[in-house]
A and B are shown apart, each in its own frame.
Chain A
Amino acid sequence: MAKPARTRKAAATPDTGPDKGPTDPDFELHSLQAAHVESPRFDASDEQLMGFYEQMLLIRRFEEKAGQLYGLGLIGGFCHLYIGQEAVAVGLQSALSEGKDSVITGYRDHGHMLAYGIDPNVIMAELTGRQAGISKGKGGSMHMFSTEHKFYGGHGIVGAQVALGGGLALAHKYNEDGGLCLAYFGDGAANQGQVYETFNMAALWNLPIVFVIENNGYAMGTAVKRSSAETEFYRRGTAFRIPGMDVNGMDVLEVRAAAELAFAHVREGKGPVLMELNTYRYRGHSMSDPAKYRSREEVQEQRDHNDPIERLKKELIERGKSEDDIKAIDKAIRARVAQAADFAENSPEPEPFELYTDVLVESY
């Protein structure tokens, strides 16, 4: 079985022995991780906890609906679902300074858009290729953007978003706007050369960037251990002196706590941080993935014992929320998603003239 979604690796501790303090030249490389191990979970208020729950549930239901619409032929091409990984985007993005920080990711981008609170209607309408879609129907599942939220996509070439994220971080630093860039990529992209070119320049130029490896265990259908010589991805910045953090991506409170440490480090001007978020993708790589490279039991094991939404639901009940309250939320979210699907299904397709718009900004 692949490594993802374990609670914490034994490997994380030997680096942080009791004798290693700030005088150790390598202290910075593991100090964030040490602080994270010390206090792994975010102390959320009831309201915050409920907010996380609603956001994660919205992503899950939205993605389930997207899968359904794909099955009906309303969504075409490639469609990569975020089911199972919800805690990552919600935990990280809840810690950003909105309007100041930027985010960039790869093609599995629906969840990151929803975590920003972007209207599900325009996201779903993009999936169905309609004029009302956030990219006017010209981008599709993999290419969605919201410059208003400083969300820069939505990129289909594995690893390209890492270098582009380096550029967004360069712009933050150049403009001295106090923002940072959160650049997501997967365990598969983590083997691309340009990722390390970017690590080098980001560390060299002290860029305000948080690199996030969403390790869901599989690069398309290739398990991490079959594609990666170093499967502890949080260590991969060490050669560039980028501190690493090893985070349980199935618990939104652990993700949020780790994000606060990482963002504070970057905002203090100390340069990039590399976070490995260990998570699990319940669905195939894309809609046409037969998932023959892993067992049904493996997936079921994660669903039954490690589900980020179930974990939070339990927590909410422990804090006194009633089953009925939770059911009511579930019902409201289902209704919201159904409305988005209706909107996406009934919106008109782009006008033919849109074929030739947005190729260039100016006319020559």
Chain B
Amino acid sequence: MAVELKMPALSPTMEEGTLAKWLVKEGDSVSPGDILAEIETDKATMEFEAIDEGTVGKIMVAEGTENVAVGTVIAMLSGEDDDVSDAAAASPAKATADVAGEGKDVGREPSEAELTRPVRAEPKADPDIPHGTNMASVTVREALRDAMAEEMRRDERVFVMGEEVAEYQGAYKVTQGLLDEFGPKRVIDTPITEYGFAGIGTGAAMGGLRPIVEFMTFNFAMQAIDHIINSAAKTNYMSGGQMRCPIVFRGPNGAASRVGAQHSQNYGPWYASVPGLIVIAPYDASDAKGLMKAAIRCEDPVVFLENELVYGRSFELPELDDHVLPIGKARIVREGTDVTIVSYSIGVGLSLEAAEQLAEQGIEAEVIDLRTLRPLDTRAVLDSLAKTNRVIVAEEGWPTCSIASEIVALCMEEGFDHLDAPVLRVCNEDVPLPYAANLEKLALLDSARIVAAAKRVCYAD
């Protein structure tokens, strides 16, 4: 059977090329791998090899021809028993179609693709706490430890790995006591090799285990961010749903106290921008415990952002056998009618302080703790906006491309008609965090700034 030899596409972007030179002539016998011609692409001169065995029939495109479209028949190749002579001249094939839709501005109209997007179900509400449940005062540190221990008792596949998690009992004592209860098989001290052990943890999750990978701080996870994003977050999608990666990456995030620029950064916005990840950043002990347990049970990869300055704070925590909270659900931590303060992590504490100060001045602020940064509970924010008509976002982190920026965009796109004032971002200063005590204080979010912003949007200055 005669085979049409077509102008090949020799790079991802090639649409046409120059047939620079024929290295065979009509009647030549060729074997697979023989070079037939040289073709100049948009990038380089490439060799065009024979795939099949046969005899070169009619050469349709002479050497030196420029702008030969990909797919054009350039020669005929006959098989073993074919008659070469009747290889009819085929009409040049059409070039492959242009990529459609490139650079199209969709504005506020949903794109064709967006129309296929499933409607997100309402996030589940927090379970009711039965009347008479005893409330214990527990630190965030203890709550996180208890969550991990309970899940390790419940599921043999759960294990913890990271630097100093075992014999040292945790650099910030979050894993205290776990080695004693679960032994070195399930509480694994790693060398100081974040990229390597994040990859090993991710591979173990792909292999069916449920790793909790502790980063001593999320600043060090930058060495490992490739595995968090490229390996953990994307593989389920790239495999068409075959590959699972149920892993929790956890550790302290954000500024601590006078530890300088390299140890003081909030990565919430970084991870929250990545499809395929769940990002949780709780504030109090009850949320820390309930969401950590949910994160460990979750089939998806979770980035769980804690805060060193909050570890030692005590909060009321319901004494329940199994305290699990829904991922993706924000919580109104203080009700109010005049202005909404959206926050998460350590910012929630500062927002509550600010709300007290505002109340003294006659302004009732509603404080929303996002708790989960991805997927974001947009309904909670928009409902509160509809009620107060004013929103500010308090975030211990840089303002540029922040969670605050995201909330501003959300309010503009979906809550514009309810806004009585611009949405303001109340964030850290846009500088690396300085060491000097006075400069550090100047750089970081505080309640005074939140109060000032709230008053500004209430036109109460």
Question: Which A positions have Cβ atoms within 8 angstroms of B?
Answer: 64-65, 67-68, 70-73, 76-78, 102, 104, 133-139, 143-147, 152-157, 160, 162-172, 174-175, 193-194, 197-198, 200-201, 204-205, 282, 287-288, 290-292, 296, 303, 352-353, 355-364
Contact = CB atoms under 8 A, between A and B. Distances in A.
B401 interface: no
B239 A164 contact: no
Contacts of B227: 160, 163-164
B195 A359 contact: no
Contact of B199 (A154, A172, A198, A290): A198
A363 B121 contact: yes
A169 B190 CA distance: 16
B208 A167 contact: no
Contacts of A362: 298-300
Contacts of A102: 207
Contacts of A172: 207
B238 A138 contact: yes
Contacts of B8: 68, 70-72
Interface in B31-85: 32-33, 35, 41, 43-49, 51, 70-71
Nearest to A77: B12
Contacts of B196: 163, 166, 194, 197-198, 200-201
B47 A291 contact: yes
A291 B47 CA distance: 9
A254 to B, nearest CB: 24
Given A166-B196, A201-B197, A352-B112, A157 B231 contact: yes
A200 B193 contact: yes
Contacts of A364: 123, 278, 326-328, 372, 375
Contacts, number: 221
B108 interface: no
A135 B116 CA distance: 20
A168 B195 contact: no
A165 B231 CA distance: 12
A201 B190 CA distance: 8
A171 B207 contact: yes
Contacts of A64: 32, 51
Contact of B195 (A167, A194, A363): A194
Interchain residue pairs A-B with the least CB separation, the first 5: A167-B203, A163-B199, A197-B196, A71-B8, A171-B207
Contacts of A156: 230
A228 B328 CA distance: 48
Given A136-B240, A163-B227, A364-B278, A200 B191 contact: yes
Contact of B45 (A70, A152, A290): A290
Contact of A166 (B48, B200, B243): B200
B206 A164 contact: yes
B10 interface: yes
B116 A288 contact: no
B117 interface: yes
A201 B191 contact: yes
Contacts of A171: 203-204, 207-209
Contacts of A363: 120-121
